[in-house]
Structure 1
Amino acid sequence: MAKRTPPTRPFHARRIEALGQRLRTARLARGMTQSHLAERVGVDRTTIGKLESGDPATSLSTVLRVLSALGLDHDIDQIAATDPVGTQLAASQLKRPSSRPAARSQSAGSISQHATQPHSVAEPPPDRYALRASQKPPPMGGGPVPTPRSRGAR
């Protein structure tokens, strides 16, 4: 059963055919026959014919080996080496600092001083640190553990 190749758009088909013609021109300029090139690449002569006629089913591996056999593989590393569009898209998707207020004010009408500075790292108010310090657990292995007093005891 033959392998199935997805349909190729006309624009891409023309480009594949143009590549095939350029490879044929390069082969002929070097005085090589299709059979000789096929032998160097390790494929059948008909595969070289299909590649030169623009058959989209020719594998990328075969194209790369043909380019190498013709001495044209030096440009392969430049394909998609720089991608300014992709770089811009990736940069636009980076998370940016939020301009929302970091801490809510206790009164609904006033704006916190920390919330007026967008794109800055807001620190919690100092009283939050004090609250955390008072709730800190005792060090391990040291002293008795404080117990909460009941409401009835004074």
Structure 2
Amino acid sequence: MIIEETQSFCQPKEKWNDFIIINQHSNPTTSLINDKITIFGGNKRQMSSKKVNLLPKYQQIFDEIGENIKLARKRRKLTTEQVSERAGVHRSTLNRIEKGDPSVAIGIYFNVLKVLSLEGDFKNIAKDDVFGRKLQDLDLL
């Protein structure tokens, strides 16, 4: 979607039934566009992600990751405010990570792990690809 912006309003260039009014000198304005919530405040635009549908066994993996991050934060005696500020994210985003929300961007997970000095764990994602190596070996025969 292409958006045309002036100082007082923002209007999509595509054919839409509505437009979004922005007052840059007040609190952010929220509007519903294509099943996504768009928050406008000053020059910042944030789009919330759609819900990610996962099978329960895969959601459990995210739940465990979130719980591990939460335990790591508590072991370091850091508050959610401290970690979120250092990671450059909102506290509610950190809460979503600690609950295992798969719709949070992977870069935000990395920033939180970096604050907790666990960025080395991030490098281990898909590092030991046993199945892929077996497929590669079969292809060489």
- TM-score relative to the length of structure 1: 0.57
In the alignment, structure 1 residue 12 sits paired with structure 2 residue 58: yes
Q: Which residue of structure 2 lines up, in the alignment, with residue 38 of structure 1? A: 84
Deviation for aligned residue 1:19: 1.1
Deviation for aligned residue 1:84: 2.4
1:53 maps to which of 99, 120, 139: 99
Deviation for aligned residue 1:52: 0.6
- For these two proteins, the number of residue pairs brought into alignment is 95
1:91-126 alpha-carbon deviations (Å, 9 max, x no partner): 2123x5xxxxxxxxxxxxxxxxxxxxxxxxxxxxxx
Q: Which residue of structure 2 lines up, in the alignment, with residue 79 of structure 1? A: 125
Quick one: distance in 2 between partners of 1:17 and 1:56?
9
Quick one: distance in 2 between partners of 1:10 and 1:62?
23
Q: Which residue of structure 2 lines up, in the alignment, with residue 135 of structure 1? A: none
Quick one: distance in 1 between partners of 2:70 and 2:79?
10
What are the equivalent positions in structure 2 for 1:90-129 lying under 5 Å apart? Answer: 90-94=136-140
Deviation for aligned residue 1:41: 0.4
One-letter amino acid of the structure 1 residue matched with residue 54 of structure 2: T
Q: Which runs of 5+ in 1 are unaligned?
A: 97-154
- Percent identity over the alignment is 28
1:35-88 alpha-carbon deviations (Å, 9 max, x no partner): 111100001000001111121111111111111100111222233223222112
One-letter amino acid of the structure 1 residue matched with residue 77 of structure 2: G
Moved over 6 A (4+): none
Quick one: distance in 2 between partners of 1:89 and 1:44?
42
One-letter amino acid of the structure 1 residue matched with residue 104 of structure 2: T
Higher helix share: 1
Q: Which residue of structure 2 lines up, in the alignment, with residue 103 of structure 1? A: none
Quick one: distance in 2 between partners of 1:82 and 1:22?
21
Q: Which residue of structure 2 lines up, in the alignment, with residue 67 of structure 1? A: 113
TM-aligned CA distance change 1:11 to 1:48, over 3 Å: same
